[in-house]
Amino acid sequence: MKWLLVEKCIPLDTKLIDDSIKCNVDDVRYSPTVDFIRYVYEKFNRELFVGALPGVDEIEVDVSNKIRGGVFGQATCNICKSRCFVEDIKLKLNSTVTLTIHEWLEVMLHEMIHIFDYTMNTKKYCVDDGYDGHDEWFNEFSKRFKRYWIGC
């Protein structure tokens, strides 16, 4: 007998996603989609970041099967240190992982805090001492969103 593994992708069902934000959590596990990333990015940018992040059309969003090491998502950018300028912001979710919608929302929020850090705290990227992405600022700023973490 052969087994067929059927992965479910997150449906672009805004009510289901919005219910997951409100902690009406189910335990169905999904793979992320670009449509999910775009919807949640726009919603969180508008409602949680008051539009402070670049628009979803100004960054590259994607799902990738090349993210390794137990990483669920990643936000990256290029830094022009001479002009202290951030460009080419990318947000990717790991397509080889399945999580509940609420868990994917947590990943999105985490990566969006990185994007906020890139765009609002650009100067700390322009030093040669390196950059700690999960520094004290990141941890303190993340506390503002505690009500959105899985501890529903």
Identify which of 48-57, 72-81, 82-91 has the greatest average pLDDT: 48-57
In angstroms, the CA 75 to CA 89 distance is 7
Predicted pLDDT of residue 151: 47
19 with 49: CB under 8 angstroms? no
Task: Please name the residues in contact with 116: beta carbons below 8 A apart, sequence gap of 6 or more.
Answer: 49, 52, 53, 141
Q: What is the SS3 assignment for 51? A: coil
Picking from 65, 74, 62, the residue whose alpha carbon sits closest to that of residue 115 is 74
Confidence of residue 152 (pLDDT cuts 50, 70, 90): very low
Q: What is the pLDDT of residues 78-129, one digit of tens each?
A: 888 888 888 999 999 999 999 999 999 999 999 999 999 999 988 887 876 6
- Report d(CA 141, CA 145) in Å as an integer: 8
Partners of 99 in the β-ladder: 30
